[in-house]
Amino acid sequence: MSGDLNPCPACGGRHLSEIYRLDAIPVQSCVLLDSADQARAFPRSALVLMFCDSCGLVFNRAFDPGLVDYASTTEESQHFSGTFNRFARDLVAEIAALYDLDGKQTLEIGCGKGDFLQELVRQTGTRALGVDPGFIPERLPGANGKDIRFRREYFDSTHIDYAPDLIVCRHTLEHIPQVGRFLRDIARLIGARRDVALFFETPDVRRVLAEGAFWDIYYEHCSYFTLGSHARLFQHTGLDVTRLYAAYADQYIIQYAAPAAGRVMPPAADDLADLRKLAAAFPARVAEIRAHWAQFVRRRQGAGKRVAIWGGGSKAVSFLTSNDLGPEVTDVIDINPYKQGKYLPGSGHRVSAPESLQQAPPDTVIVMNPVYLAEIGAQLQGMGLDPELVAV
């Protein structure tokens, strides 16, 4: 705890405590590299997680936005998985049921490759603008038209030339260091209007704190929320939280908000006492879990077993680099064809297609996202493989 540090970016609070520190992790964990050497030489930086006792925000005090380039070849799209597709489609259906968007305007901040926005246009008849510095036009052929437009840039309210009726922001807030300023910029865009809805989807850090899930902590994620700290940020900006719940096996926060009418706070937001306990216990918890997985992998390697990781994204990069794991893990598998043949920053593992496992069958497969366990088990069985299958 210290009074000379920068205040909490969400609430301005100064009652902060350090709960986690890594000296050097890759500054981008979903970037794709063309060679193992390039991947191992990828820039690293420190991560120092602070907990705000006033609002519950967890943030990386050492984060330097200048080190992260979202316009480069990142690969954050999860749209190759069947499970994720169903989840995203259901969310669009939920939004469509809540709001009549036919002929209205939707703005998506951080639209990624634009798949969600395109589905929203298809299901609701809304007109749409997507803003994202990493948008790749070639990946969504024919998408830019009368009803849906994309801009390859960072969100800035002064660049938006219309008043959106719905503002969508998925998996973006965790990348924003100055979250208070970001929300104020959105509030500026809304202005005095009251008939505007906001839909936010953000990773939920509660399970990470409770279970010491260090693989979910990585450099690009500089702001970490729970249901309560997420809602309190909106309340702090003068917005009402109208609907709040955890989804996707409690991995994501789903939150709807609106310009304030009556200072609405759902009961699910009341988690500060619980959060303070989790934050206090986290340093010991995360040390224990890191040691467990390092030992899990090294024991099997020592016994001459092949250990594969399924999921070649940020979780895998963090899992490997936080524990200095290299050749102890023999294979990294991903179903996304855009990742295959590329190399993970830090450890330098090559990402391969599932079929590659048939040539040298693994003894153990560690699944980086438990949500996909059944899907992956079925795929392994379909290839005639029956390894020890565990999820982090």
Give the alpha-carbon dihedral of 31, 33, 36, 40, to 10 degrees. Answer: -40
Task: Report the nearest approach of Zn ion to the CB of residue 16 (Å).
Answer: 8
Between 10 and 27, name the residue whose CB sits nearer to Zn ion: 10
How many residues touch Zn ion under the rule CB under 5 A: the total is 8
Phi-psi region of 70 (alpha: psi -120 to 50; beta: other; left: phi over 0): alpha
Residues of this chain, 103-132, that bind Zn ion according to CB under 5 A: none
Please report how close the Cβ of residue 65 comes to Zn ion at its closest, in angstroms.
19
| Min CB(54)–Zn ion separation in Å | 5
- Residue spans of alpha helices (H) in 303-347: 314-322
Decide if 236 contacts 11 (C-beta within 8 A). yes
For Zn ion, the binding residue among 57, 111, 197, 208 (CB under 5 A) is 57
Nearest residue (CB) to Zn ion, 47 versus 52: 52
List, in order, residues 6 or more apart from 86 with CB less than 8 Å away: none
10 or 176: whose CB is closer to Zn ion?
A: 10
User: Toward Zn ion, which CB reaches closer, 57 or 325?
Assistant: 57
Q: Pairing relation of β-strands 252-259 and 239-247?
A: antiparallel
Q: What minimum distance in Å lies between the beta carbon of 171 and Zn ion? A: 21
Cβ nearer to Zn ion, comparing 51 with 219: 51
Sheet of 166-170: strand order equals: 148-151, 127-131, 105-109, 166-170, 197-203, 252-259, 239-247
The residue (of 14 and 207) whose beta carbon lies closer to Zn ion is: 14
Helix crossing, 115-124 with 82-98: angle to 10°? 40
Report how far residue 84's alpha carbon sits from residue 93's, in angstroms, rounded to the nearest whole number: 14
Residue 196 interacting with Zn ion (CB under 5 A) = no
Tally of residues, the chain? 392
Least Å from the CB of residue 51 to Zn ion: 9
Extended beta strands in the chain, E state:
16-26, 44-52, 58-60, 105-109, 127-131, 148-151, 166-170, 197-203, 223-224, 239-247, 252-259, 307-310, 331-333, 351-352, 364-367, 388-391
Q: Which is nearer to Zn ion, 13 or 377 (CB)?
A: 13
52 versus 366: smaller Cβ distance to Zn ion: 52
**Assigned token pair, 118:** 């395109």
Closest separation in Å from C-beta 8 to Zn ion:
3
- Pick the stretch among 7-15, 92-100, 201-209, 363-371 that binds Zn ion (CB under 5 A): 7-15
CB 214 within 8 A of CB 322: yes
In angstroms, what is the minimal distance from the CB of 311 to Zn ion? Answer: 32
From 13-21, 113-121, 217-225, 273-281, span contacting Zn ion (CB under 5 A): 13-21
Comparison of 15 and 139: residue with beta carbon closer to Zn ion: 15
Candidates 50-58, 98-106, 308-316, 361-369; binding stretch for Zn ion (CB under 5 A): 50-58
**Interface with Zn ion (CB under 5 A), residue from 22, 27, 30, 52:** 52
Joined together, the tokens standing for residue 320 give 């490997």
Shortest distance in whole angstroms from residue 232 CB to Zn ion? 8
Window of 5-13, 42-50, 117-125, 377-385 that interacts with Zn ion by CB under 5 A: 5-13
The residue behind tokens 């007109």 is 127
C-alpha distances in angstroms, 39 versus 36, 235, 297, 333, 350? 5, 42, 22, 16, 9
Question: 200 pairs with which residues across the strands?
Answer: 169, 255
User: If binding is defined by CB under 5 A, does position 11 make contact with Zn ion?
Assistant: yes
CB of 182 to Zn ion, least distance (A): 14
Sheet containing 307-310, strands listed edge to edge, beginning at the edge strand earlier in sequence: 351-352, 331-333, 307-310, 364-367, 388-391
Least spacing, CB of residue 286 vs Zn ion, in Å: 21
**Given the complex with Zn ion, which of 10 and 92 has the nearer CB atom?**
10
Should residue 54 be labelled a site residue for Zn ion when binding is judged by CB under 5 A? yes
- Site for Zn ion, rule CB under 5 A: 8, 10-11, 13, 52, 54-55, 57
